[in-house]
């Protein structure tokens, strides 16, 4: 067995937080995830790339997303009490990068770079070409530090027959065949 460089456990001190955040990001980056674009809003839609997404319950159908409190879509989700999740396919890396770019255009121009259709129930944009999608009603919000943990009851959903997911691992995008 090899020795592992371990960080001290406990609350950060003034000289440790930057290294701990960097190490934490590195450790969490070892968990491969799917990539989604989370959207909300009808008249002034907002979106963001998110990999903090998971199933919570099948009966009733509930999912979870985590959203940085300072993200523009955060307030839109709270105001609309609804959101959509597009699960990206391998060819949609450009869309993932677009919605992760903090310098992208905002407002209605934010969606000029991708093809979308409005969700039937929420009106939130759903990305065309996504592997799967869900529309959700916001049912609960929890404190998650610098993020909010949103639970959504699934109102509608769909999927494509192709199995070509976009994955995120160790700071980069990948496809199953990589």
**Per-residue pLDDT reduced to its tens digit, 9-67:** 555 555 557 667 778 777 777 777 899 999 999 999 999 999 899 999 999 999 999 99
Q: In what order do the strands lie in the sheet with 33-34?
A: 33-34, 166-169, 172-175
Lowest mean pLDDT of 11-15, 55-59, 104-108, 171-175, name the range: 11-15
Please determine, for residue 78, whether its predicted confidence score (pLDDT) is greater than 70: yes
Longest dimension (CA), the chain: 57
Tokens read off for 172: 């980069």
Average pLDDT of the chain is: 88
Mean pLDDT of 137-153: 96
Q: Write out the CATH class of domain 34-170.
A: mainly beta
Among the listed residues 67, 71, 82, 79, the one whose alpha carbon sits nearest the alpha carbon of residue 138: 82
| Segments of the chain assigned E as strands | 33-34, 36-40, 46-50, 53-58, 61-68, 82-87, 116-118, 125-127, 132-144, 147-159, 166-169, 172-175
Stated pTM of the model: 0.85
Domain parsing of the chain, residue ranges? 34-170
**Per-residue pLDDT reduced to its tens digit, 112-135:** 999 999 999 999 999 999 999 999
For residue 13, the model assigns a pLDDT of: 54
Count Cβ atoms below 10 Å from residue 63 Cβ, excluding itself: 20
């Amino acid at each position: 067995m090899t020795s592992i460089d371990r960080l001290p456990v406990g609350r950060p001190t003034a000289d440790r937080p930057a290294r701990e955040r960097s190490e934490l990001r590195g450790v969490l980056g070892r968990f491969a995830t799917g990539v989604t674009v989370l959207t909300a809003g009808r008249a002034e839609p907002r979106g963001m790339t998110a990999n903090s997404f998971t199933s919570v319950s099948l009966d009733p159908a509930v999912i979870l997303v985590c959203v940085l409190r300072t993200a523009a879509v955060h307030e839109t989700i709270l105001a609309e009490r609804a959101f959509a999740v597009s699960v990206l396919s391998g060819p949609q890396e450009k869309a993932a990068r677009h919605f992760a770019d903090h310098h992208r255009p905002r407002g209605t121009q934010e969606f000029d770079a991708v093809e979308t259709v409005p969700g039937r129930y929420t009106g939130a944009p759903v990305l065309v070409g996504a592997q799967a999608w869900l529309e959700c009603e916001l049912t609960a919000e929890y404190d998650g530090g610098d993020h909010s943990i949103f639970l959504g009851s699934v109102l509608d959903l769909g999927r494509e027959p192709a199995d070509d997911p976009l994955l995120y691992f160790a700071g980069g995008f990948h496809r199953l065949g990589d």
